[in-house]
Amino acid sequence: MSRFPMPALTRRAFLASAAAGAMLPFRQSPAGAAAIREVRLRAAPGGIRLLPRPAGEVAAWCYNGTVPGPEIRVRQGERLRVEVENGLAEETTVHWHGVRVPHAMDGVPHLTQKPIGAGGRFVYEFEAVDAGTFWYHPHQRSFEQVGRGLYGPLIVEEPEPVRVDREVTWVLGDWRLTKSGAISEDFGNRHDIHH
């Protein structure tokens, strides 16, 4: 006889219940019930100022010409429809970091979607289930695409927003620059691969 009592929930029972839960349909509002917020994002080369004047702009990759990309703001329960145009010379995707979305909208290349080819478009659409502060970015060669500036904030507000006297969205980023102030081109190096 073991001196350790049998657990109330075994590992196998837990895994079986977790697998059953994963098979449940993704919760969405009935068709037409949720308001739809439409946004367009264009990923393309651009320029940003990283160093004070007299230094000029540095070549970067931008969403709608800015780094970070535009703040996308939606209310919890609304549907978000984002048409992404790829103005890059390579494939890209958009991943909605921390957001519960249908599998086909998760932006993981070759797993949840075919990457958006150069000059191509893709429409992401999902219900903003959870309120919070999130971010969007590519999962296609993210070590380089995020490193060149492709990211932005996604704010999902509560249906009744909390009263505050001021709201500020801060997006912090770090840049690996050369001595001349340009973005270092050594993407995919050992440091990047380990992240």
CB atoms within 10 A of CB 2: 5
Write out the two tokens for 43: 């990923």
pLDDT of residue 189: 82
Indicate the pTM of the whole model: 0.79
- For the beta sheet containing 132-137, the strands, ordered from the edge strand earlier in sequence to the opposite edge, are 72-75, 152-157, 132-137, 95-97
Give the C-alpha separation, 107 to 98, whole Å: 12
- Total domains in the chain come to 1
- Is the separation of the CB atoms in 131 and 144 below 8 Å? no
Give the C-alpha separation, 138 to 135, whole Å: 10
Please tell me whether residue 145 adopts helix, strand or coil conformation. Answer: helix
Which residues are within 8 A (CB) of 61 and not within 5 positions of it... i.e. 6 or more apart? 43, 44, 45, 46, 67, 88, 145, 148, 149, 150
How many angstroms separate the first and last alpha carbons of the chain? 48
Does any domain span residue 14?
A: no
Each residue's pLDDT tens digit, 54-86? 888 999 999 999 999 999 999 999 999 999 999
Does any domain span residue 18?
A: no
Does any domain span residue 24?
A: no
Does any domain span residue 89?
A: yes
- Average pLDDT for 158-171: 91
CATH code for the domain of 81: 2.60.40.420
Peptide bond preceding 30: is omega within 30 degrees of 0, i.e. cis? no
Does any domain span residue 11?
A: no
Each residue's pLDDT tens digit, 139-164? 999 999 999 999 999 999 999 888 88
Tell which wins on pLDDT, 33 or 160. Answer: 160
Does any domain span residue 27?
A: no
Does any domain span residue 62?
A: yes
Each residue's pLDDT tens digit, 12-25? 554 555 444 444 44
Does any domain span residue 67?
A: yes
Structural domain boundaries, residue 152: 36-161+169-188
